[in-house]
Amino acid sequence: MTYLPRLGLAFLFFLFQSCGEEDLQKEGASIPTAPIPKEAVTEFSGDNALQHVAAINEFGPRPAESEGYQKSLRYLEKTLKKLGWKTKRQSFPSSTPIGTVNFTNLLARHSPDREPDWLVSPPYLLGGHLDSKRYPEIIFLGANDSGSSTGVMVEVARVLSQHGDSANQVELIFFDGEEAMLKSIDPKRDGLYGSRYFAGHLKSRKNKPYAGIIIDLVGDDKVPLLIGLDSHQNLQSHARVAARSLNLQKSVINASGGIIDDHVPLINGANIPCLHLIGDFQKMPYWHTKDDTIDKLSPQALKNCGQLVLKILHQLTAG
């Protein structure tokens, strides 16, 4: 992810000022759902989430097309299946600055007894990237970037699976190719491959999600978790209310602007209101280095993020 250039930021602010005061549109979905209960929030285990990060790190670096990425996909499919979730691979080639690369997003729905209707979107989307940045010259494991969000999403899946139809509120999306092939993300040319593809193909569905939550770099309790200011204002408010109620108001704070990540194509390409939650990577000296290893992660930080996400989903679905 990259801080938006000034001009881009101003433009995005204009966009969001113009739509931010509207409520989220709730129409079109036809999946039986129940509110996500508040008890779900306390059931999230940071230790469980950390175990998933450790398991994925065992597979080595996981840039798009790598053996590590394929093994991570299979781990997620197997783990989610045990929890009653069905998964679907969304594979596509894309031209990149280093040539054509084959990417694979992984989509998941809680549907223990039958194949879900993949053409009907659940009300909410929880996403994060699975790929680690391609560094041919070093062993880059990306424990925090993006093992942490992946671990949180799998543990959220476990918690939701214990609450019947409330799990139908959420589609999980593990995006491939968030990371740029070259140094930095360029939202139109390099990086965000999986989210751009997903956003472009939502048209083929009968409805869109009401809103999305994108998480990234959420495992380090020494840095704050930032609310991206290009998030939908209504969702920003939900995040602040949830943080206060969990007594996390000191560790969940506003970013200084918008930060480019997988929410950008969802907002700009598919018009889905999004919340972007990201650890303050500018305070992580190990960010995008070989030192992004599991010792930088804490169960507490993963728990803070997981509980915050569940609390926001509770507020959105019970309100």
The stretch near Zn ion (CB under 5 A) out of 100-108, 129-137, 150-158, 224-232 is: 129-137
Contacting residue, 56, 72, 145, 259, with Zn ion by CB under 5 A: 145
Going by C-beta distance under 8 Å and a sequence separation of 6 or more, which residues neighbour residue 285?
291
Name the minimum Å distance from CB 96 to Zn ion.
16
Name the minimum Å distance from CB 270 to Zn ion.
22
**Residue 195 half-sphere exposure toward CB, CA atoms < 13 A:** 37
Q: Restricting to residues 240-259, which ones interact with Zn ion according to CB under 5 A?
A: none
Dist CA 144 CA 138 (whole Å):
16
At residue 97's C-alpha, the angle toward residues 5 and 197, to 5°, is 75
Measured N-to-C along each axis, helices 46-57 and 149-161 cross at an angle, to the nearest 10 degrees, of 130
Name the minimum Å distance from CB 173 to Zn ion.
17
Dist CA 71 CA 251 (whole Å):
33
Q: Restricting to residues 23-62, which ones interact with Zn ion according to CB under 5 A?
A: none
Name the minimum Å distance from CB 115 to Zn ion.
33
**Site size for Zn ion, by CB under 5 A?**
2
Q: Does position 155 bind Zn ion by CB under 5 A?
A: no
The structure tokens 């679907």 sit at 88
Q: Does position 292 bind Zn ion by CB under 5 A?
A: no
64, 176 contact by CB (below 8 A): yes
Going by C-beta distance under 8 Å and a sequence separation of 6 or more, which residues neighbour residue 42?
307
Name the minimum Å distance from CB 192 to Zn ion.
11
Name the minimum Å distance from CB 217 to Zn ion.
7
Dist CA 274 CA 146 (whole Å):
19
The stretch near Zn ion (CB under 5 A) out of 12-20, 33-41, 140-148, 157-165 is: 140-148
Which residue is closest to Zn ion by CB?
A: 145
The stretch near Zn ion (CB under 5 A) out of 39-47, 133-141, 190-198, 242-250 is: 133-141
Footprint of Zn ion (CB under 5 A): 133, 145
